[in-house]
Structure 1
């Protein structure tokens, strides 16, 4: 707009100035058409009437400098537009510590948008060959997300990434979406370059994890309507998270029997942990219900969600409806009724928020959830212990403490030849007694270093205000009760990791579990 205004101003001033200057100059024609011609020549510094050095009327003085400036700007802008793509590639190649998101799916666009709030992000539609990733600066990137809708495209992106030579000392985190979690497990154990940390995940599995973290069952009768990929992931997550020996679920789906049979065959833990009753259509019954509507078809999900919300127990039932594109529409509907029992969740936003966090943050949240459960089991409450609040309400200092503890988990596992891998399976794992002792000592040393860095000192009694603690002493000087606290942290690691969606395996087992 400014450019257009400057062009018009330059033309008008040039015309007026030329008309005044040439009115008494018989050397040049000064018909209106001649004035326009001379005026246009000002843009290329080739107008004959203004070649003798003046003096000229002030409108012409201004125009003879403004018009070349406008021309120069136009040339520079045209060159910039012509070479914008190449310049963007050059900038991307020179970037470091950035994140690359591959894919033209809604999930990729949502994730890229969320990440841009706190990170440098390069978003490309496809990366099936290494040169595209080189152009995006993969050699110095921190993370790569492959989020195309098609699983083969994401696998091809990972293969391309494995062929790019790294120019940074840190390893590269690669996160690739696959529709089938078991395929992800097989690919994860394939064996990649040492500097590549490859994680294959299911978007539906990630979203199911987040939904259950936000709407965790607590005694309600559970109902799952629609066994889409999200519905199946939700069933597996319900079975894995179950606090009781058996989780009872009503599944409403015409093809539910075949899907449940497949889940039992593919996931041995599912049959032992989950008792499923399959019905073709959900008919609400009296009592406390927690209903998850999981259809991929959002119009159908919206219809079934509204129907269920209108018929479940009005005072005690809750209906959670999976949405992607229509999540905002669902929230508008909630504002006009059913707000006490109807909840819409945007799975793309939930999965994006989860993926935006590093593994450390998801583990830190799991550590805090475990701490909440343990302290509440001992009868503690927020009045006696201010840290017994949800993660989002924790002070930054306590969040950082949880992150520091989570960040050290991988290091401790390395000490005993183990590693953690993402998994939906509730697979058992137990450390050997000598491993527990070794890891407990490592945990105590980490805790002491963290406290001392925060200004804590040894004291006879714990004093939070003065930062004094009686356990700030070497392992050999601790009593048995104090040592057991550190051992308990180690013994809880398999459950904590399972809560965050990981399991422990021994290195060299190639996917086999060791007890």
Structure 2
């Protein structure tokens, strides 16, 4: 079960500073006690020194040990061993107290100085669970992190900059001009967008600043990503938006692929039509579409008072869901579902996706009793309660000692992976392009080294798909169109034949220039070893077969974008 720990938040560690404080406090008490006993013994053995042996005087002399000025010691030794210990231990405590006081006094200025002089660092803006988790994981990866809290707070050992997070002066104080990346993770999506726009300015030194803004609403996030892809590329900066639920769903489904029990599609139950629940459904469908070559629909039941509306919304945004899945919505809560007799099969996998963690935990314990399955078959979303993992996955397995069915999943911890956040819309479109390519060729019975899952694809071919995806915005601008998420009412633009041909020419020239940069040349016969290809000719000189192939690829563009949840819309008359 240890391998499952990656989905949880880190358990709190014992801080070092309180331990030191406690140790020196104990040393101070011991030193004071030893001083009392040692001074009393020393003055009793040396009455000629002229110092009083009254208890209050001894108390005063013992306190003076901490400031290196106890008068009875001025006459010199020898001293009792216990007094010798006290006269060295007490000043040690005083020195530590002075150092600690100076550290606390100047900590704020030191942190500001470190922030202003930082270089190649990462700036994390916000006080949320996402911000703190992301900052911790970046530090664990070896990055220098400067945090900018949403409010004017100055606590914490890491370099921090106080003030309003969306103030450009605050970003300059965090040395944004020399930073490597900025993550805006406050609990206000509008503020995150403003911070990202303020930070995303082209640089004069030629380096690239990556800026990522968290957006809570997945549809707003998709709209902002579409706007970015449709806009002209600006050098020296990389701006992107991310949604925690979408990232966590991709992480979960990728790490735990579906299995085939008894050579049949697994049955899935999703409790909660939340943003995370909807994202899990879409990711499961994507994985199943590639895995199931026999085109068997994946049975998914979704339980939520708004399940029907959620399914309608999802199938409108992602048309491929109706071809890949058999989705059954249940427009009621879990209690009613459990009270309703069912002759259907017991779900093989249950995903409990409620935003309310108390509700999710209650549903998890109930579902584990009603739907017993394989170990880890009931996945429950928990974030702030993720510390309960010790009861489920560790040690004595107090709450799950019988079957091991439950699997706690921390959405925030899973999503706060810098590499996962860095997978922008271009990366996801490249994956969809490759998936469509694999499905198209395998349906014709073809085979080859490129017909593999995306993660197994050679870097050279992945780069080719990324370049094609990155150029979509430029092509759409050329015909007066843009990219828009398939959300709400909207009229999708149908590419005319002239537009198809124009985009096919643009794609061929882009592909040809890309290959020229890699050293490819024209030849009548293809030779990959010597980088020779018959398609390296200009468009007018291409054989009809190759032209038709390019035209067919452009005709598939609306379907590719639909698979990713987007559509082409007209901006103006060309």
Q: TM-score, normalized by length of structure 2?
A: 0.61
Asked if residue 121 in structure 1 is aligned to residue 145 in structure 2, the reply is: yes
Deviation at 1:325, TM superposition (A): 3.9
Aligned mates of 1:270, 1:379 — CA distance in 2: 22
Shift in alpha-carbon separation, 1:440–1:124, aligned structure 2, 3 A: same
Structure with the larger RCO, 1 or 2 (CA within 8 Å, 6+ apart): 2
**Alignment map for 1:231-246 (pairs within 5 Å):** 231-235=277-281, 243=289
**Alignment map for 1:291-306 (pairs within 5 Å):** 291-304=350-363
Deviation at 1:79, TM superposition (A): 1.0
Deviation at 1:69, TM superposition (A): 5.0
Choose the corresponding residue for 1:440, options 480, 486, 511. Answer: 511
Asked if residue 94 in structure 1 is aligned to residue 165 in structure 2, the reply is: no
Asked if residue 29 in structure 1 is aligned to residue 22 in structure 2, the reply is: no
Matched residue of 2:60: which SS? helix
Shift in alpha-carbon separation, 1:373–1:51, aligned structure 2, 3 A: farther
Deviation at 1:81, TM superposition (A): 1.4
Look up the match of 2:4.
none
Aligned mates of 1:186, 1:411 — CA distance in 2: 16
Aligned mates of 2:436, 2:515 — CA distance in 1: 21
Look up the match of 2:413.
349
Shift in alpha-carbon separation, 1:71–1:495, aligned structure 2, 3 A: farther
Please list the CA deviations of residues 426-453 of structure 1 after superposition, one character each: whole Å capped at 9, or x if unmatched.
999978333333333344456669xxxx
Deviation at 1:181, TM superposition (A): 3.1
Matched residue of 1:359: which SS? coil
Matched residue of 2:417: which SS? helix
Look up the match of 2:179.
141
Aligned mates of 1:129, 1:193 — CA distance in 2: 25
Look up the match of 2:249.
208
Aligned mates of 1:210, 1:423 — CA distance in 2: 25
Choose the corresponding residue for 2:530, options 471, 491, 499. Answer: 471
Aligned mates of 1:354, 1:425 — CA distance in 2: 27
CA contact (8 A) 2:242 2:421 kept: no
Deviation at 1:31, TM superposition (A): 0.9
Choose the corresponding residue for 1:254, options 302, 305, 317. Answer: 305
CA contact (8 A) 1:110 1:348 kept: yes
Deviation at 1:94, TM superposition (A): 1.9
Look up the match of 1:337.
403
Shift in alpha-carbon separation, 1:146–1:181, aligned structure 2, 3 A: same
Look up the match of 1:16.
38
Shift in alpha-carbon separation, 1:343–1:74, aligned structure 2, 3 A: closer
Please list the CA deviations of residues 306-361 of structure 1 after superposition, one character each: whole Å capped at 9, or x if unmatched.
6556666969x96554343445366556662274xx65543223222376553389
Aligned mates of 1:61, 1:319 — CA distance in 2: 65
Deviation at 1:174, TM superposition (A): 2.4
Shift in alpha-carbon separation, 1:74–1:334, aligned structure 2, 3 A: closer
Shift in alpha-carbon separation, 1:494–1:81, aligned structure 2, 3 A: farther
Aligned mates of 1:22, 1:285 — CA distance in 2: 92
Shift in alpha-carbon separation, 1:56–1:299, aligned structure 2, 3 A: closer
Shift in alpha-carbon separation, 1:131–1:417, aligned structure 2, 3 A: same
Aligned mates of 1:272, 1:172 — CA distance in 2: 40
Deviation at 1:26, TM superposition (A): 3.4
Please list the CA deviations of residues 120-177 of structure 1 after superposition, one character each: whole Å capped at 9, or x if unmatched.
2334441243344344443322222222334344345435546x99796433322222
Q: How many residues align?
A: 474
Look up the match of 1:158.
196
Q: TM-score, normalized by length of structure 1?
A: 0.66
**Alignment map for 1:307-346 (pairs within 5 Å):** 320-326=379-385, 328=389, 336-337=402-403, 339=405, 344-346=408-410
Aligned mates of 1:239, 1:112 — CA distance in 2: 32
Shift in alpha-carbon separation, 1:104–1:514, aligned structure 2, 3 A: farther
Look up the match of 2:132.
109
Shift in alpha-carbon separation, 1:471–1:73, aligned structure 2, 3 A: same
Look up the match of 1:225.
271
Shift in alpha-carbon separation, 1:249–1:311, aligned structure 2, 3 A: same
Aligned mates of 1:310, 1:389 — CA distance in 2: 36
